[in-house]
Amino acid sequence: MALEVKALPFTFVAHALAIAGAILVLVWCIHFRGGLAWEASNKNLIFNIHPVLMLIGFIIIGGEAIMSYKSLPLKKQEKKLVHLVLHAVALILGIIGIYTAFKYHNESGIANLYSLHSWLGIVIIVLYGIQWIYGFLVFFFPGGSTTVRSESLPWHVVFGVFVYILAVANAALGLLEKLTFLENSGLAKYGSEALLVNFTAVVAILYGAFVMLTVIGQGPPAEDDYSYTAI
Amino acid sequence: MALEVKALPFTFVAHALAIAGAILVLVWCIHFRGGLAWEASNKNLIFNIHPVLMLIGFIIIGGEAIMSYKSLPLKKQEKKLVHLVLHAVALILGIIGIYTAFKYHNESGIANLYSLHSWLGIVIIVLYGIQWIYGFLVFFFPGGSTTVRSESLPWHVVFGVFVYILAVANAALGLLEKLTFLENSGLAKYGSEALLVNFTAVVAILYGAFVMLTVIGQGPPAEDDYSYTAI
């Protein structure tokens, strides 16, 4: 999109929002919800890993992966490597985060995969994996022909943006779903924890918006025939 | 975005999804939830107006408003008129839809504005209104200078897309929130109504995705100096 503004300043706002979001989700899960544990008799501590990994691991690192390709002052091959490694980290942490939700459900006797959040989560992680594998094969190794690359690139961006927007929206869905459960169990609707969780979702949405502004802003001058900056 | 595909075929898929979404939300609110009423002793019938107006009135008509500017075979001034009238209809139905949520809460003794869905809803309707007024003044009447128009247009598109994505995401949040309330009151998690509501949200998200594909696809040849097709 031909927004004639530089992408770089948007990334600084996004980084600040990323730090804020990470702090908020950690304060929520550790201070308000009792902490994180892989094995525990209090199964809620297992659940707590889920929002932490999904927000910090999947959404934030995934967003940094998207922005890295547009904003880092590196050669294209180096930016590609950073881009694909960060996305791989986000994907792996996302998969572990989803696993913890199943683990919590299974150990607590709660049904799996009935909610919109869970359905979308599965769809998103599968699409994210497909996008990563396609990107790796076509743009990195072994690499497609120049025609395949240049014709794929706009779709790589559009599909990636689509999956990422879905991921941010699904984070908001998850935070709202968990908070609704807690409020139905007696948590104060206007209490400090409720406000904190809602603000975490707002920060995640703002972060996603600034990641998207980075995608449509102007990157550094293009080095060769295909680049984000050409879009 | 330079997707070298025509926008028009995406609009046909979007129209089909719009019809599907409209049917799903009507079946839910009328068949499963007992129908719609402006005044009723059963306050749930007042609430039922909310999802119907927000999905059909705000999301679907708002999406059609977005697509109309890109896809209709009309002169630019005519497309503008269709675009702004459809957005005005969406905005007005959205405001009435939000009012019914407050009406239901107030008549049922339920707290207002504690959830993420409600917060985002207020933000979205305000941003939508600002976007409409700015668009009317700059692009329609009295109209800004050519420089203001051409510099505003990419931001008009980006801001409009941002607000619309938020609106679709918030529809999903609202459907999940209501369904979670119902499931906490005993509705079967894998029952036909739960599946119907979740599928309504999935259809709304797919509709939103096809509206976005229309925005980034190629429109008919541009008639003059500034146009969506130049973006």
Q: Tens of pLDDT along B67-104? A: 999 999 999 999 999 999 999 999 999 999 999 999 99
Would you state the pLDDT for residue B160? 97
Of B181, B189, B209, the CB nearest to A114: B189
Taken in order A83, A70, A22, A108, the sign of the CA dihedral is negative
Mean pLDDT across chain B: 94
Do A231 and B179 make contact, defined as CB atoms within 8 angstroms?
no
- Sort residue B221 into left (φ over 0), alpha (ψ -120 to 50) or beta: beta
In tens, the pLDDT along A20-29 reads 999 999 999 9
Please choose, from the candidates B111, B68, B109, B65, the residue with its C-alpha nearest in 3D space to the C-alpha of residue B90: B65
Do B198 and A119 make contact, defined as CB atoms within 8 angstroms?
yes
Interface mutation target, options A3, A114, A116, A117, chain B, most CBs of B under 10 Å: A116
Mean pLDDT across chain A: 94
Would you state the pLDDT for residue B226? 47
Find, in chain B, the residue whose alpha carbon is nearest to that of A215: B1
Do B179 and A116 make contact, defined as CB atoms within 8 angstroms?
yes
In tens, the pLDDT along B107-136 reads 999 999 999 999 999 999 999 999 999 999
Of A162, A180, A198, the CB nearest to B180: A180
Say which residue the tokens 């904190």 belong to: A196
Banded pLDDT at B47 (limits 50, 70, 90): very high
Task: For residue B5, give the amino acid letter.
Answer: V
Please check the confidence at residue A230 and state whether its pLDDT lies above 50: no
Would you state the pLDDT for residue A225? 40
| CA atoms in the 13 A half-sphere facing the CB of B103 | 20
The answer as to CATH 3.30.70.1060 being correct for domain B8-230 is: no
Say which residue the tokens 């396609």 belong to: A134
* CA gap B159, A120 in Å, rounded: 25
Please check the confidence at residue B180 and state whether its pLDDT lies above 80: yes
Q: Is B122 at the interface with chain A, CB within 8 A?
A: no
Would you state the pLDDT for residue A2? 57
Banded pLDDT at B187 (limits 50, 70, 90): very high
Q: Give the residue with greater pLDDT, B2 vs A86.
A: A86
Q: Is B31 at the interface with chain A, CB within 8 A?
A: no
Of B114, B157, B209, the CB nearest to A194: B114
Interval B144-155 mean pLDDT? 95
In tens, the pLDDT along A73-84 reads 999 999 999 999
Q: Is A110 at the interface with chain B, CB within 8 A?
A: no
Please check the confidence at residue B223 and state whether its pLDDT lies above 70: no
Find, in chain A, the residue whose alpha carbon is nearest to that of B215: A1
3-state SS assignment for residue A73: coil
Of A158, A180, A184, the CB nearest to B3: A158
Do B212 and A162 make contact, defined as CB atoms within 8 angstroms?
yes
3-state SS assignment for residue B140: helix
Asked whether the beta carbons of A89 and A141 are under 8 A apart, the reply is no
Banded pLDDT at A223 (limits 50, 70, 90): low
- Residues of chain A contacting residue B155, judged by C-beta atoms under 8 Å apart: 3
* CA gap A42, A17 in Å, rounded: 31
Task: For residue B36, give the amino acid letter.
Answer: L
Distances (CA, A) of A170 to A58, A117, A167, B176: 11, 6, 5, 11
Report ipTM for this prediction: 0.93
* CA gap B116, B104 in Å, rounded: 18
Find, in chain A, the residue whose alpha carbon is nearest to that of B187: A114
Interval B180-186 mean pLDDT? 97
Q: Where are the domains of chain A?
A: 19-219+226-230
Banded pLDDT at B225 (limits 50, 70, 90): very low
Interval A44-67 mean pLDDT? 98
Instruction: Number of A to B CB contacts under 8 A, please give it.
Output: 111
Q: Is B166 at the interface with chain A, CB within 8 A?
A: yes
Do A2 and B177 make contact, defined as CB atoms within 8 angstroms?
no
Do A2 and B231 make contact, defined as CB atoms within 8 angstroms?
yes
Interval A215-219 mean pLDDT? 93
CATH of domain A19-219+226-230: 1.20.120.1770
Please check the confidence at residue A116 and state whether its pLDDT lies above 50: yes
Q: How far is B126 from chain A (nearest CA, A)?
A: 16
